[in-house]
Structure 1
């Protein structure tokens, strides 16, 4: 049996802006794609069992070094995903040892055989599907160390640029992992450094998050990197369709926000003011209501956007418990269940006020720095 979905309200074990987040959600367009449907429950369960065995036997508590992490965790996970044909330690430069990624992955034996016909190691990358960089278990991917001036993420970016130039764009994908976090980078992203997809494999397995697990497998197995009959890989499909999806959503959202949401906000604020004994007869009073409604609207839009893009620390459980998306999902759940909302309690309004104050001033206890833009 495949893992049952996790029903606990916790942050999703994946983040990043490489792909449109709504596109990846359980009810998003990816779930209707051929690549998604091609991975059946039986195959997913078998891969899940293999991944769980690899992760559970890894000696994480003994602070394993990079070589142990690479040999006992990262490469076995890749093999479990279906990567059978690899070459390790292939130099991107003809001189020195600075540009030597940990490995290059090939979709099949034929691609690897073509690569081995190249005498120069750097030329072999042109036949690969992705290059891999492995780091010590638990090491921060965005932090440098005494031994390495460049961060692991910065190192991957250097390799990606070098491989992209060397192969004339034939290899543009990179995987970076410390065993826990698995990042997918694309050399053609608008901002390669900031636009990546990161998935937390142990968290996915621990929570028995079926959708997260299928996302991990579908996006990192060899089939995702191989172009179809139209010359488009799954990743390229998600990128192109995701942008179209976001454009459609943005157009619909703009119409809804300014023709439905904003008028209702203004009416609600006006009713609240009149209920508090503040009649709105003067033009200046109506202008104040309009300004207040716009301020509230832009605060809501900013928070939802920032949480969706990971600009606010939704991966921190401390913040996530107070996040606007948690309030939004709670309201949806209650409305779907035809629950009754009190006309006296100010639970959601008070939560929103507290969140806005925390964003404005910062709250280190939940990993939230201050945002000094003046909106809050």
Structure 2
């Protein structure tokens, strides 16, 4: 029962996993993680260490300075970082996949050649601004406006729950440029300088994932020059749909890795905790809880690598990505809940990391398209 099980990985992927763990152990020792959470401090040193060792290059094409890794390579990276610390995983996912995926897929060649090498080097961070105070998961209801003006567009509106916006250099922003016959018509994606005049970013006080926390972003007559569009005007919806598979894969991989971290921590605690003259790991009731945690961890992992294999094979894997997101994130929360029960009072104490694992696990079923939305997707695929 360990993250280092090969699970059909190539030698290179197994080496990638070990190298990521070694890099993070040097840049952010495990004993320091809880302090970062308490201070709500972005894990900059760990982020830069991953950049310096080349791991941020994995999702990008070689022509832009990337490593042109496979979906399975990406799953290995995200699962491993999610195992080590979800705060770092969330930080790199936001730049590389949430927002960086739009740049890599849909930006002009000029922007790709400028930004992707900076992202790979850790010099530029991105955030994806989609959700709004009145829309939540209803992306077709977006009201943030982009109005054509001389040489560009003027952006007005507000976004909320925007992960890592407080450290971003650029924001990938979904706006409405027009109204169409269908609700999802008229959406346009822009790349906006996070420090441009009229952009206000306000950190929010979140329950978990506090080092890569969410923010409110307000746009007041923000000018975006021509050439910074990441979609054809009014036609962003297909682009958003194309990006979802990778996003859900990454979210599921982080949750799978986190399952293993929590399970290993609870196991080690149970072997050391003495009650009635015995380690509590000697008692069958505790053993069964730990086995249940292990099962849920393995099921989460299997769903992740199934999706990665399908995507690498050229499949769209629409159903499988939604299933993986549901299974991995819900298993993550269930594993954390069981682990907290095993630790008892120590699990409920802020002095131990289990409470952080529990808080960090809860966002999974909410973020990246709620699991209720994922079930809606699956219901439609079933013809319901």
TM-score using structure 2 length:
0.29
Structure index of larger Rg? 1
